[in-house]
Amino acid sequence: MERNEGLSEFLRARRAAMDPERLGLRDAAPRRVPGLRREELAALAGVSVDYYTRLEQGRPITPSDSVLEALANALQLDAAERSYLRAVARPPAAGRRRAPAQKVRPGIHALVARLEGTPALVLGRRADILMTNRMARALLADFDAMPARDRNAARWIVLDEAARSLFGDGWEKVASEFVGTLRMDAARHPDDTRTAELVGELSMRSERFRRWWAGQKVVQFSHQTKTLHHPVVGRLTLRTEALAFPGDPDQTLLTFLADPGSPSDEALTLLSAWAADHSGDGSRKPARTAPYE
């Protein structure tokens, strides 16, 4: 069996991020490296130092549910990080493969089409943009007009200068979170060659991506408030909601909502009118799916 590099790197990074003083661990002499020592973390998790060391070295060991729970508690992991730990601790059999094209079922197409005044898009594996409605294209970017390989939210947010301008001071947080969702996806589908290709491309083209990826941050889509600076309607404060589809955990509906009656709500109404004036037949064209077809 091969070494489990994913588990090894994650455990080392999370151990280094722990604050000994917060845990009541004080030393007379300064520590040579940040975080906890292996023996300290092993004691917190209730496992032997030898067993934890072998896990952190990536030895071919399959830890039990109780051990993973103990490690997660000792490392003070959040829900997303716990899910990631379980995924990297028990990877599927090795063997890279080309994933099949992703499809959005007709019912989801109909749902997104009915969200006429709400920016909405469907994300698939590795944050591929599987479909968008007119408002999402007006708010973010015209993904349908991009080459197929570029219709990926992580690539867009990390590399596109327009995306950086759109999110302003909040760009770094938004971009690093998309990198965190990409890491989660890579753990769930470690044999997906397209994920590996995307990570390789972004690593070569972005120093920030390399830093974020090395930081082992893990994120699951949820709900947040984001501030955008749109070139047509100005500043918007919008709530994002991410909804996974039953029966297809690899697809997520992402919507952008304004508080009713707020300036941002009025701005979305103006943006809808502007999009209608500038879309022409584009408002009726079918949304693109399967960006790698």
In this prediction, residue 91 carries a pLDDT of: 80
The yes or no reply on domain 106-283 and CATH 3.30.450.180 is yes
| Alpha-carbon separation of residue 44 from 22, 74, 96 (angstroms) | 13, 6, 36
Phi, psi of 234, deg, nearest 5: 85, -150
In this prediction, residue 248 carries a pLDDT of: 81
> pLDDT tens-digit profile of 236-286?
999 999 998 887 878 999 999 999 999 999 999 999 999 888 765 443 344
In the numeric block, which tokens belong to residue 54?
Answer: 């072998």
DSSP 8-state code for residue 117: T
- CATH says 5-89 is which class? mainly alpha
Give the residue extent of every domain in the chain.
5-89, 106-283
Within this chain, domains 5-89 and 106-283 share the same CATH topology: no
Given the structure tokens 């490690």, which residue do they identify? Answer: 71
In this prediction, residue 247 carries a pLDDT of: 77
pTM: 0.83
**Low-confidence residues of the chain: pLDDT under 70:** 1, 27-30, 93-100, 279-293
